[in-house]
Amino acid sequence: QPGDIALFLRLQAIPRHRSTREILATFQTMASVSAFLHTYLAVDLHVAEYLPPASEWDVFRFVNLVFFALGVSTLVALFFTTAPYGKYSRSGWGPTMNAKLAWMLMEAPSPLVFALTFLIGDKNTNTLPGLVFATMYLVHYINRSFIFPLTLKSKPYPVSVAALAVLFNIPNGYLNGRMIYHFMSTYSEDYVYSFQFVAGVAVFLFGMRVNWSSDAILRDLKEASKGEGYKIPRGGWFEYVSAANYFGEIVEWTGWAIATGSPSAAVFALWTAFNLGPRAVSHHKWYKRTFRAYPKERKALIPFVL
């Protein structure tokens, strides 16, 4: 606005006798941005006091956008390489650590950050929908962070991969929690009777059930093998897909996105698919290469489809 421009010019101590047209012409002919900053901004060391600070909402939207872009980049990258843990463990990824400890350290930031956003939140912390959402998120991650790792009997885990997981889980906990408990409108108590809420929670619980039961099948299979190597998983949703545990987790977070109606939850659901989808395809190819008797009708990730 003209008033803002005039204020800006006064703050920068630009001579008042110069016309706006002359000043703009000067700006356009600047040889570099650094010259402009030195000439017009370095004059007043307190100029930042007059510039509007970026709001948390601005930062939040930027982080959400970057988070989504990184998810797309991860999807592309994982079609060319496979994360080096589990059956794909290999050298060249730096030092390793105990797998149980790695899972705890890399997953724990998500529920901790989410719980913090709930505690400092000013919306939905006392509503029934908000309490249900907190329960859904924290039950999943308490299991993933502190219960599931204790059942692992895996090879050492690369520290670099664990560090990347931490860099995912911290912003993910913040984006999901802060959106629900600060930026979104308050859910009405009647929202729990809406089709969106009921359908989303049902999908979430179904996905969680598939995910947990599939993890149990893999755990029991590993214990039964007694060090004899990998076996073909059977039972449950493994009769339909090679990566039933991944299928369950993708369904789970899709239900979360539906129930909450949160853009950040939608990004999380997409991120889950971007990250686990390529690995499911790798699993499927590995099983088919390794076992001649591998069921031909079994798909990689989506029953009867993919």
Position 6 scores a pLDDT of 37
CA–CA dist 203, 276 (Å, integer): 18
**What are the residue ranges of helices labelled H in 143-194?**
159-178
Taking only the tens of pLDDT, the chain with its 306 residues reads 433 433 333 334 444 444 544 444 444 443 343 343 344 333 333 433 444 567 889 989 999 999 999 999 989 988 888 777 667 777 777 898 998 999 999 999 999 999 999 999 999 999 999 999 999 999 999 999 999 998 887 788 889 889 999 999 999 999 999 999 999 999 999 999 999 999 999 999 999 999 999 999 998 888 877 767 788 899 999 999 999 999 999 999 999 999 999 999 999 999 999 999 999 999 999 999 999 899 999 999 999 998
β-bridge partners, 97? 157
Q: pTM for the whole thing?
A: 0.79
Burial 127-158 (b: 16+ CB within 10 A, else e): bebbebbbebbbebbebbbeebbeebebeebb
200 exposure class (CB count in 10 Å sphere: 0-12, 13-18, 19+): buried
Position 14 scores a pLDDT of 40
Q: Which two tokens stand for residue 96?
A: 């390793």
Residue 96: phi and psi, rounded to 5, are -120, 170
**In one letter, which amino acid is 268?**
F
Position 227 scores a pLDDT of 67
